[in-house]
Amino acid sequence: MSDVFNFSAGPAVLPKSVLEEAQRDLLDISNSGISVLEHSHRGKEYMAIQEEAQANMRELLNVPEGYSVLFLQGGASQQFAVIPMNLLGAGQSADYTNSGAWAKKAIGEAKKIGSVNVIAETGDVRPCTVPTPDELNETEGSAYLHITANETISGAQWKTFPTTQAPLVADMSSDILSRPLDVSNFGVIYAGAQKNMGPSGVTMVIVRDELAANAPADIPLIWRYQTHIDNDSMFNTPPCFSIYLLMLVTRWLKAQGGVEGMEKINIAKAATLYGAIDATDFYSGAAHVDHRSLMNVTFNLPTPELEAQFAKEADAAGLKGLKGHRSVGGLRASIYNAFPTAGVDSLVNFMQEFEKNNG
Ligand SMILES: Cc1ncc(COP(=O)(O)O)c(C=O)c1O
């Protein structure tokens, strides 16, 4: 079979070496005679996996003392509700930025729990943007300020993070581990695994311990961050296989030079693709140049018909998953950490050919 490149927005491409290792461990891990899928989460084989996932994640993101790294379930969508449950005390309000589809969902859930102030709106701005730090006018006494670090659908990304009075809470589902971070600038960081960390099924939450400790007393145990801190993310049976794969991805990332090394590769891949978009009037980038995502490259062709034809012919050529999200149309190339440079080159060649034949 000729090369297939998977541009899916998530679940997304995983490093091939990780999949090969998982394939071996599927039948027998660590010469235990038992599949990685079958081990008890309390057994030494699995405990070692989760401990390594924790340690590698702390190392990769340079997570300081006073923060916990949790592996939970329910996706980033569950965090949309769990964050206000834990951080929004009675009589308080929270600030949110509305930068697009995912921010809007987070706002919708928070409004069900408490009082929300939307302090910046860019969801309908075209080309797509996110707010800039200096546009934020924080509400005095706000419990936290929520941002969506990378809008997976529009392809707009925060390039620098604001320094805020209230704890900064960030949905990093689609750009976690793609660049270095100063975790101490945040109160909570959360991300579903299925784009840059592993398969779906596990959600990572990095939470400042004092925020978890001060959560209202009436939240059910399963939704309290403190419960999961106290139980090392083993309050209930964790998503063992997803965490195992995430652990393998952290090893792979370390071998790429960590997030610093990964960022360099990501910048180069995105530059190649945006360069091809900018090289001609036939293609146009959907996100504002200052906010262009390194992870989700969104672009348009002159007509929706040409976009549909492009996606269809690209698919037949082995370039899969390029159709834009159903809510916005256009094309979207998701080029997460594990997406190979050869796939970007292949897409650029295809774009040039397509324009020659249809431009
Ligand atoms: C930025 C962002 N936030 C939240 C979500 C929802 O994640 P989940 O499906 O893990 O609930 C997604 C999924 O694509 C996303 O891209």
Q: Which one is catalytic: 171, 175, 252, 269?
A: 171
Ligand 1 atom 5, closest CA: 76
Ligand 1 near 171 CB (within 6 A): yes
Q: Same domain for 157 and 168?
A: yes
7, part of any domain:
no
Ligand 1 near 75 CB (within 6 A): yes
Q: Same domain for 251 and 328?
A: no
Q: Same domain for 223 and 303?
A: no
Percent of the chain with pLDDT over 90: 97
Ligand 1 atom 12, closest CA: 173
- Which of the listed residues 238, 255, 272 is the one where a domain comes to its end? 255
Number of domains in the chain: 2
Q: Which tens digits make up the pLDDT trace of 119-153?
A: 999 999 999 999 999 999 999 999 999 999 999 99
Range of the domain at 277: 258-358
**Peptide bond before residue 11 is cis, with ω within 30 degrees of 0:** yes
Q: Which residues of 168-206 are buried (b: 16+ CB within 10 A; e: fewer)?
A: bbbbbbbbbbbbebebeebbbbbbbbbbbbbbebbbbbb
Distance from the alpha carbon of residue 93 to the mean position of ligand 1, in angstroms: 24
Q: Same domain for 93 and 223?
A: yes
Other beta carbons within 10 angstroms of residue 243's beta carbon come to 25
- Which of the listed residues 217, 235, 255 is the one where a domain comes to its end? 255
Ligand 1 near 152 CB (within 6 A): yes
Mean pLDDT, rounded, for 192-198: 98
Q: Same domain for 197 and 317?
A: no
Distance from the alpha carbon of residue 115 to the mean position of ligand 1, in angstroms: 23
Note if 290 is an active site residue: no
Token representation of residue 151: 């809008």
- Binning pLDDT at 50, 70 and 90, where does residue 322 land? very high
Among 183, 200, 207, 174, CA closest to 67: 207
Mean pLDDT, rounded, for 247-269: 98
Instruction: Round to whole Å and give the CA distance between 346 and 278.
Output: 17
Note if 356 is an active site residue: no
Among 343, 299, 339, 349, CA closest to 319: 343
Ligand 1 near 334 CB (within 6 A): no
Residue type, position 275, single letter: G
Instruction: Round to whole Å and give the CA distance between 300 and 280.
Output: 12
Distance from the alpha carbon of residue 1 to the mean position of ligand 1, in angstroms: 32
pLDDT of residue 2: 67
Q: Same domain for 89 and 158?
A: yes
Q: Which tens digits make up the pLDDT trace of 201-230?
A: 999 999 999 999 999 999 999 999 999 999
Among 61, 86, 56, 54, CA closest to 183: 61
- Which of the listed residues 200, 234, 255 is the one where a domain comes to its end? 255
Sequence-distant (≥ 6) Cβ neighbours of residue 217 within 8 angstroms: none
Note if 175 is an active site residue: no
Whichever domain contains 226, its CATH number is: 3.40.640.10
Q: Is a pLDDT exceeding 60 seen at residue 168? A: yes
Q: Same domain for 205 and 309?
A: no
Ligand 1 near 174 CB (within 6 A): yes
302, part of any domain:
yes
Q: Same domain for 182 and 275?
A: no
206, part of any domain:
yes
Q: What is the mean pLDDT of the chain?
A: 97
Q: Is a pLDDT exceeding 70 seen at residue 1? A: no
Instruction: Round to whole Å and give the CA distance between 79 and 171.
Output: 9
- Spatial contact of 192 and 214, defined as CB atoms under 8 Å apart: no
pLDDT of residue 328: 83
